[in-house]
Structure 1
Amino acid sequence: MELQLTIKPFSELSVIELYQILRLRESVFIIEQDCIYQDIDHKDQKAWHVIGKYDGKVVAYTRLFKRGDYFANASIGRVVIDAEFRARKWGYPLMEASIGGILRHFGESRIEISAQLYLQQFYENCGFHTTSETYLEDGIPHIRMIRD
C-alpha cells in the first residue's frame, strides 16, 4: 500500500480528517520538536490542504496558500510526515503534490516557504533556493526559500 494524496479546501475536510491533521501537527511540531506555539492560527480556513493517508490514517500533510494569504508569493507550510513513516521518503511525493496543487488551484509557479534550517537540503532537492539568512521562528532556526 502506498501513500494516497488528496487536496481539499478547508470546507471539504471531514471532521475526522481535521482531527487527524491537527493531531499530526501537534505530535510533530509541538511535542516532538518541544516547541510551544499557537498551531491553530486561523489560517487553515484560507488554505488548501494536502493530505497523505496510509491505511486510512493521515500520516503526511501540508497546507497551501495563494499569493498574499501568507507571504507575498504562494506558499507551502506545515509540511509534516508522521515519524513512523519518514524512512519511506514520502516527503518528496508530498512536496510534488503540494507544488502541483499551487499551480493547479492558484495558477502560481513561484512558491515561498519558511523552512526549518535542518531541512534545507531536502527543499533544495525539491527545487527551492535560499533567499535569507538564518532566523528564529518559534525558537527554531529557519530560512526563507523560493521556488521559481
Structure 2
Amino acid sequence: MRVDVFVVEQDCPYPELDGRDTEPDALHLWYERDGAVAAYLRVLAEPDGGARIGRVCTSPDARGAGLAGRLIDAALAEIGDRRTVLGAQSHLTDFYARHGFRPDGPGYLEDGIPHTPMVRD
C-alpha cells in the first residue's frame, strides 16, 4: 500500500523501501479491512533517544474513517514521553497539531511535495 500511495498516487518515483523497515527497534502499526492494509505508519528510533513517525498513509477507499489519527494515537502511546519528530506534508500540519505536534524549522520540498518538520516534546 505504501508504494501505491507514495510512488503511484503521489507520483514520486523514489525507492520507497529504504532499508529502515527491518531495523531492530522499528515499530509498524496498521489497520486492515477485508484482509488488506487500510492505513499504516512506522516508528523509528532517533539517535538522540527520541522517535520518528513516518510513512503515514491511508488507502484511498479508507480515507475519512479516522484510521490515520487512531494510528498516530497508538504510536504516541507506544512512544510515551520521548521527543517525537516527523516530516509532515505541509497541508497536513493541522492534522498533526491535533496530536500535539508543532512546526520545527523551515519547510522543504521532498519529491516535489512541500513538507514541514514537526516535533512533539
TM-score by length of 1: 0.75
SS in structure 2 of the partner of residue 53 of structure 1? strand
| Structure-to-structure mapping, 1:1-148, within 5 angstroms | 24-46=1-23, 47-68=26-47, 73-103=50-80, 108-148=81-121
AA in 2 matched with 1:84: D
Given that residues 40 and 68 in structure 2 are in contact (C-alpha distance below 8 angstroms), is that contact kept between their aligned partners in structure 1?
no
TM superposition outliers: structure 1 runs of 4+ over 3 Å: none
Residue-by-residue CA offset, 1:21-76 (whole Å, 9 max, x unaligned): xxx001110111111111011110112101211232211111111222xx773110
Aligned residues with identical type, % of pairs:
39
- CA–CA distance in 2 between the matches of 1:49 and 1:136? 25
Instruction: Give the structure 2 partner of residue 7 of structure 1.
Output: none
Task: Show structure 1 runs of 5+ residues with no match.
Answer: 1-23
- CA–CA distance in 2 between the matches of 1:134 and 1:72? 24
SS in structure 1 of the partner of residue 32 of structure 2? strand
Given that residues 60 and 80 in structure 1 are in contact (C-alpha distance below 8 angstroms), is that contact kept between their aligned partners in structure 2?
yes
SS in structure 2 of the partner of residue 87 of structure 1? coil
Given that residues 42 and 56 in structure 2 are in contact (C-alpha distance below 8 angstroms), is that contact kept between their aligned partners in structure 1?
yes
Question: What is the Cα-based RMSD across aligned positions, in Å?
Answer: 1.5
- CA–CA distance in 2 between the matches of 1:37 and 1:44? 16
- CA–CA distance in 2 between the matches of 1:83 and 1:48? 23
Task: Show structure 2 runs of 5+ residues with no match.
Answer: none
Aligned length: 119
TM-score by length of 2: 0.91
SS in structure 1 of the partner of residue 64 of structure 2? helix
AA in 2 matched with 1:40: L
